[in-house]
Chain A
Amino acid sequence: MSLSAATSSPRTRRWQPYLAPLGLFIGLAALPFVVALLSGQSPAGVLANEAGSAKFIQGLLIEIMILAIVALSYDLVLGITGLLSFGHALFFAAGAYLTGVLLKSFGWSLGATLGLVLVSAVLQALLFGVVLPRVKGITFALVTLGLSEVFYIVVQSRELGQYTGADVGLQGVPPPDFLNPTSHRLTFYLVTLIFTFAVYLFYRLFVDSPTGRVCVAIRENENRALMLGYNTFYFKLVVLVIAAITANLAGTLHALYQPVISPNIASLNAMVDILLMTLIGGLGTLTGAPIGAAIFRLLTFFLDRWFGESASFMLGVVYVALVLFVPYGIVGTWQRRGFHLAAGRRWLLGLLTGRGDG
């Protein structure tokens, strides 16, 4: 019957998509102990923060998860809502720098720091929101890139050097003891893991919510959404706020984890990396973002090793190959059970030029 077609058992279907992530979560939480066992360490050593493979793996996964959070937040903006922004690195970098400066130069507690990072994240989103109704498509992307570049230049300025470390980067950020990634690696790992999955879970729910469906509609055909009566500006603003908060908090994790916060995380290069991660996984899939982040991290590792100086050239080659031959990314291609090159290229071109679906 028609009604059943439109409303078939939301409850049973709703939980299905969360089973695999839940399994992955449990697996990742157990992984350090498994690795310890396999490498002849004792699991108790993991709790005692012993050096070895288990600690190394946690470090690698922390880096991947931080990238995954950023990629997820970018997928929400570009992949789900179709809003082409090239200023996303700003969100991440601002969170990292603000965390670093407040902890190091001002001696703030982590709680107070998080509070200001949240406020600053909302302000960044509002800044983008001021631009939003004024310019469309690729122009919005370029203006947001400009905002991000301003930040990139400002953090490297000598005037702010005592706070930001100028072009050398911000060093010696003191993480709180209980969350020190060197002495309490497992805690840091688990906190990052929980945060990553919380973000993913919230994003999944969001995309299926009334607000999220309108965001997808905006990506599909914004003009039609407007005509139905949706003030699309507010939906895009909501997405920017959510994404900014998420990416800023990833920046906080980055600041706590890395010995140096490099200004490069605010550069165009960083933006391109974020885009590449979402492209690898598949734009608009959410699931693709963490997969893309993992592949990207391993890819850069090996490309650096094999090609040294020309690694970034090889990364460019990967870019072009993806756009041309896997336009829907790994997850998108898998979901469609095929590459659909022509349709995929058109779709991707539409998204990457801010024109929506053509």
Chain B
Amino acid sequence: MAADIILETQQLRREFGALVAVDNVSVKIRAHTFHSIIGPNGAGKTTFFNLLSGNLKPTSGRVLFKGRDITHLPLHRTAHLGIGRSFQITNIFPNLTVVENIRLAAQALGRDNFHFWRHARHFRRYEERAAAVLDQVGLAKRADAPARTLPHGDQRKLELGMLLAPDPEVLLLDEPTAGMATEQVPELIDLIQGFQAAGNKTVLLVEHNMNVVMRVSDYITVMHYGQVLAEGTPADVTANEVVQEAYLGTLYGDVATDS
């Protein structure tokens, strides 16, 4: 059983002044599963992700990756473990082209970072990887456009492409469809699910769209005021009375006001 757990938090806590954004959260993520985290705005989901990816240091508690304590790992080491993340608020290199954003993501974990005069395009591995990812996320036609000039929906695809490019083992996806046109959402979710299934990856997804969450998830963790309110399969969570009373109703309300 324990061997199955790829990512684990123990009493993870993060305070912002008097506010406890993540309140002693202990979660176990099973390898090769699709695990969603839901919760209303301000529940602490993004903060939780920031603690997992090393963007924020916890006030207390630990993060374990394959049983190893990674709580105090420098930020740039996380990716080398095979943990990648994408951001709720698009986080790209705005003045670089689309293909270059992806190529930089692909190159990061390779061994060619310290070549001082050969043109980057001669490193075919990353070129080809970037081209393949661009095809996957449907941005091949925009490859040479500066990233800042993309419409929001395409920037979300780029954000996802940058996550996929290094082929991480664990994907932390913070609302990948945030602000996207509704009709584009299923396509993107299918893409993520396909990537997860084909590569036997572990996906941790924050998502507000309950239809999506119920459809794709193996497990769901419900967060509320920084705490874990409930955990289990989609069926468990749907059936959970506490969740229903305290939260599911309001969440659907959130979705309505969001869009």
Contact = CB atoms under 8 A, between A and B. Distances in A.
Contact of B144 (A5, A209, A212, A214): A5
B94 A357 contact: yes
Contacts of A3: 128, 131
Interface stretch (A87-95, A103-111, A216-224): A216-224
Contacts, number: 126
B94 A227 contact: no
A228 B85 contact: no
A228 B96 contact: no
Interface in A198-230: 202, 205-206, 208-214, 216-217, 220-221, 223-230
Given A205-B116, A206-B117, A221-B92, A10 B76 contact: no
Contacts of A53: none
Given A221-B94, A231-B76, A2 B116 contact: no
Given A227-B79, A229-B80, A220 B94 contact: yes
Contacts of A221: 91-94
A235 B114 CA distance: 8
Nearest to A14: B119
Chain B interface residue bracket vs A: 35 or more
A232 interface: yes
B114 A238 contact: yes
A226 B108 CA distance: 9
A202 B105 CA distance: 25
Nearest to B96: A220
A202 B117 contact: yes
Residue with the highest number of chain B CB atoms closer than 10 Å, among A221, A232, A234: A221
Given A214-B113, A220-B94, A221-B94, A227 B119 contact: no
A19 interface: no
Interface in B121-173: 121-124, 127-128, 130-131, 134-135, 140-141, 143-144, 162, 166
A211 B110 CA distance: 12
B131 A226 contact: no
A6 interface: yes
A1 B135 CA distance: 10
A357 B104 CA distance: 18
Contacts of B200: none
A217 B123 CA distance: 17
Chain A interface residue bracket vs B: 35 or more
Given A2-B134, A208-B119, A229-B166, A7 B127 contact: yes
Contacts of A7: 121, 124, 127-128, 131
B238 interface: no
B118 interface: yes
Contact of B104 (A6, A14, A213, A234): A213
A228 B108 contact: yes
Contacts of B114: 210-211, 234, 238
B112 interface: yes
B202 interface: no
Residue with the highest number of chain B CB atoms closer than 10 Å, among A210, A216, A221, A357: A210
A226 B141 contact: no
A213 B115 CA distance: 10
Contacts of A227: 53, 55, 75-76, 78-79, 85, 91
A9 to B, nearest CB: 9
B120 A224 contact: no
Nearest to A284: B95
B100 interface: yes
B107 interface: yes
Residue with the highest number of chain A CB atoms closer than 10 Å, among B53, B85, B105, B121: B121
A5 B141 contact: yes
Nearest to B107: A210
B113 A210 contact: yes
Given A3-B128, A226-B75, A229-B166, A209 B140 contact: no
Nearest to A233: B76
Contacts of B85: 227
Contact of B127 (A6, A14, A228, A234): A6
A229 B108 contact: yes
B235 interface: no
A139 to B, nearest CB: 19
A223 B92 CA distance: 10
B99 A6 contact: yes
Contacts of A2: 131, 134-135, 140-141, 143
B26 to A, nearest CB: 25
A230 B120 contact: no
B109 interface: yes
A209 B143 contact: no
A235 B103 CA distance: 17
A235 B104 CA distance: 14
A47 to B, nearest CB: 35
A154 to B, nearest CB: 33
A1 B132 CA distance: 11
Contact of A229 (B79, B96, B115): B79
Contacts of A225: 104
What are the 4 tightest A-B residue pairs by CB atom distance, in nearest-first order? A2-B140, A229-B79, A5-B143, A229-B108
Given A5-B140, A208-B121, 5 more contacts: A6-B134, A217-B93, A227-B53, A229-B109, A229-B166
20 contacts: A5-B134, A5-B143, A6-B130, A7-B131, A10-B119, A10-B121, A205-B117, A208-B119, A209-B116, A210-B107, A210-B113, A210-B115, A212-B120, A213-B104, A217-B104, A221-B94, A227-B75, A227-B79, A228-B104, A234-B114
